[in-house]
C-alpha cells in the first residue's frame, strides 16, 4: 500500500490526498467550516449563518468568496472527488499486478473515507443537492472513480487471477464497503484509518480471488 508522499500544499504527510487545502485563506476557512457543518447536519439543514459563524465571519461574508451556498457545496464536492480520483489512479498505477492494484485502491479508498470522514460524507451524500449542471459534472467524476476499480477487476478476471461473474456489480459491492466507512466512522472509533484501509484491501482481494 502506498502512502501519499506528494500530496498538495499544506497536507499532513501521513494522511492521504487531502480533499481540501488546510486553510489559511478566508475561502479555505469557509470551505472547512462548511464541511464540518454539512457533514453534521446535511446541506439543507445548515444555514449560511452557521457556516459564517464557524469561520468567524458575519453571514454576508460567505458571499464575498462564494456566489451562493450551492457554489460552496460544489467547490467542496468537486475538490473531494478530484482528490479521491487522483489517489485511486496513483494507487492503481503503482501496483504491478491486478491483485496489488485492488488491494491498494480499495485499501486507500477506505482509509481516505476514514481519515477525511467529514469531507467524505459531504462528497458522498450531499452532492445530489447540487444544481443540475454541477451535479452532472460530479457524476462524470464518479464514473471515472468507478472505472478505476472496474478496470482492475476486469484485468484480474482476464488474467485469471480473479473469479468474478459480473464486473460492474462486483465493482459496486467493493466500492460500497469503502464508501460506507465515512457513514459509520468518527473520531471516537478506536481503529486507525490505516488499519481500516489495510483490512478493507484484504477483504476486497479475498472477495474476488480465484480459489
Burial class (CB in 10 A: 0-12, 13-18, 19+), 193: buried
Q: What are phi and psi of 161, to 5 degrees?
A: -80, -30
- Residue among 4 and 167 whose Cβ is closer to its own copies: 167
Q: Which three cell numbers stand for residue 98?
A: 491486478
Handedness of CA 113, 8, 31, 81 (dihedral sign): negative
Binding segment for its own copies (CB under 8 A), chosen from 16-24, 57-65, 93-101, 168-176, is 168-176
- Residue among 5 and 176 whose Cβ is closer to its own copies: 176
- The yes or no reply on residue 139 touching its own copies (CB under 8 A) is no
Among 68, 184, 186, 192, binds its own copies (CB under 8 A): 184
CA distance 179 to 7: 21
Residue whose C-alpha cell reads 457524476 in the numeric block: 139
- Range 44-103, binding its own copies (CB under 8 A): 44-45
Which residues lie near its own copies (CB under 8 A)? 42-45, 125, 129, 165-166, 169-170, 172-173, 176-177, 179-181, 183-184, 191, 196, 199-200, 203, 206-207, 211
Amino acid at each position: 500500500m502506498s502512502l501519499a508522499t506528494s500530496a498538495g500544499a499544506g497536507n499532513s504527510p501521513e494522511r492521504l490526498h487531502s480533499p481540501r487545502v488546510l486553510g489559511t485563506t478566508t475561502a479555505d476557512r469557509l470551505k472547512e467550516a462548511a464541511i464540518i457543518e454539512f457533514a453534521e447536519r446535511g446541506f439543507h439543514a445548515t444555514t449560511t449563518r452557521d457556516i459564517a459563524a464557524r469561520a468567524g465571519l458575519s453571514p454576508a461574508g460567505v458571499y464575498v468568496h462564494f456566489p451562493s451556498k450551492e457554489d460552496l457545496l460544489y467547490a467542496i464536492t468537486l475538490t473531494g472527488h478530484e482528490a479521491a480520483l487522483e489517489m485511486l489512479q496513483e494507487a492503481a498505477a503503482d501496483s504491478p499486478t491486478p491483485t496489488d492494484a485492488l488491494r491498494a485502491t480499495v485499501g486507500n479508498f477506505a482509509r481516505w473515507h476514514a481519515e477525511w470522514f467529514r469531507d467524505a460524507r459531504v462528497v458522498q451524500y450531499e452532492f445530489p443537492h447540487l444544481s443540475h449542471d454541477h451535479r452532472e459534472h460530479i457524476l462524470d467524476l464518479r464514473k471515472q472513480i468507478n472505472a478505476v476499480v472496474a478496470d482492475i477487476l476486469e484485468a484480474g478476471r482476464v488474467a485469471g487471477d480473479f473469479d468474478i461473474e459480473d464486473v460492474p456489480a462486483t465493482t459496486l459491492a467493493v466500492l460500497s464497503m469503502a464508501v460506507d466507512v465515512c457513514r459509520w466512522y468518527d473520531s471516537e472509533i478506536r481503529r486507525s484509518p490505516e488499519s481500516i484501509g489495510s483490512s478493507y484491501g484484504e477483504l476486497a482481494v479475498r472477495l474476488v480471488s480465484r480459489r
